Amino acid sequence: MTLQVKRAFKYRFHPTDEQAAELSRTFGCVRLVYNKALEERTRAWYGEQRRVSCVESSAALTQWKKTEELAFLTEVSCVPLQQALRHLQTAFGNFFAKRAKYPRYKSRKKSRASAEYTRSAFTWRGGKLTLAKKQALDIRWSRPLPEGAQPSTVTVSRDSAGRWFVSVLVEDSVVPAAATSAAVGLDAGITSLLTLSTGEEITNPRHERRDRARLAKEQRELWRKAKGSANREKARRKVARAHARIADRRRDFLHKLSTRLVRENQTVVIEDLTVRNLLKNDRLARAIADASWTDLRLMLSCKCAWYGRELIVIDRWFPSSKLCGNYGTVRERLPLNVREWACECGAVHDRDVNAARNILAAGLAASACGDGVRPQRESSRTRRSSVKQETQRATAGIPRQ
């Protein structure tokens, strides 16, 4: 069964000086409209206890263009400005639904410079993309678009390193992968990025550590430059390029790893890690951020949905490392420096491999029973017996009674 999904294909492009100036002006107008509409909505909400709709904001935009102060808004395409108002409407919808915090103003220096164009504001003909009021873009087609694809939305952006990107949103057909009986449990780590329940360890590339000397040098050069000078801007871009190099290599590695795991296994089981809380550890924060567990989980989630695989996330409090997979006992304490430990049943466990196998068994049990995995609250004898039974049943593929 073929699945229809919307996919974004991102490419680099090299604008002419005229195109770069026009796009930069568009980015500034988009940011201005967003901030001004947010200001009006905030004033109406806190001053009059009234919500402003997207239609009212659009009508206000028309009036802004007629003023002498904001007449320059007519010099750019109106579509990115309208899209900015729609994005603000989505942000407020998420806020009132308690899915996000109150929308914030866009900063000229810190916010992402981007503009979104819909079908009425670009032309796609003969493999060439032309935006409104601009010539055809010189795009580097690193991979082809799906055959017969018609872009519905085009987003142009510029990162902090000065690189220009165009993201093309198209509808694509995804064929689910062939079914398999394989299942794998994943234990995330720092020395080993992932430990599989099969015993395989995926070495952590440590992209940030490999480029740390180069990054530190560029940052020292940046702080030696006078604020506001042209040399400081050049140094800032060098620092941004160093960060972009690290991020690009990390993203490429995670995409390849997640694709491999999804293709080889029908079921993938991971832990629900609270990375935000783990980053509060001053000694491990840098290494945890470099591992990018959150991005890996997001990639696994999307690809499992596309290719007909099952992703199971077990509870963060499940004692995967301290649980003996053979006997079911749970150790009271297991410091991070202990990489191997012996159970009272005589089994000697590798900490990470044992955790990955317990994660797999718990995930299969949760999938069979339709329930999550929570820490046991019974007495030690009852807990040992119940955990042992659950692990044995999950390994044998027998659901709980």
Question: Torsion angle, CA of 224/230/233/238, rounded to 10 degrees?
Answer: -80
Show Cβ contacts of residue 325 under 8 Å, excluding neighbours closer than 6 positions. Answer: 347, 349, 354, 357, 358, 361, 391
Active-site position among 116, 271, 290, 390: 271
Quick check: is 352 catalytic?
yes
Q: Which two tokens stand for residue 398?
A: 């027998």
In this structure, are strands 122-125 and 128-131 parallel, antiparallel, or unpaired? Answer: antiparallel
What 307-310 contacts at long range (C-beta under 8 Å, 24+ apart), as own/partner pairs, is: 307/174, 307/176, 307/177, 307/262, 307/263, 308/3, 308/176, 308/177, 308/179, 309/177, 309/262, 309/265, 309/266, 309/267, 309/268, 310/266, 310/267, 310/268, 310/367
Query: What is the H or E stretch that residue 11 is in?
Result: strand 3-13
Show Cβ contacts of residue 111 under 8 Å, excluding neighbours closer than 6 positions. Answer: 31
DSSP 324: -
Q: Degrees (nearest 5) of the Cα angle 62, 63, 64?
A: 90
Active-site position among 116, 218, 352, 390: 352
Asked if 271 and 316 touch (Cβ cutoff 8 Å), the reply is: yes
Quick check: is 187 catalytic?
yes
CB atoms inside a 10 Å sphere around CB 140? 9
Show Cβ contacts of residue 132 under 8 Å, excluding neighbours closer than 6 positions. Answer: 77, 79, 117, 121, 122
Q: Alpha-carbon distance 112 to 120, whole Å?
A: 23
Nearest to 102 by CA among 42, 55, 43: 42
Active-site position among 187, 218, 290, 390: 187
CA 124 to chain centre: 29
CB atoms inside a 10 Å sphere around CB 357? 25
Quick check: is 68 catalytic?
no
Q: Is 296 exposed, middle or buried (0-12, 13-18, 19+ CB in 10 A)?
A: buried
Taking each helix axis from N to C end, the angle separating 17-48 and 78-96, rounded to the nearest 10 degrees, works out to 40
Instruction: Enumerate the active-site residues.
Output: 187, 271, 352
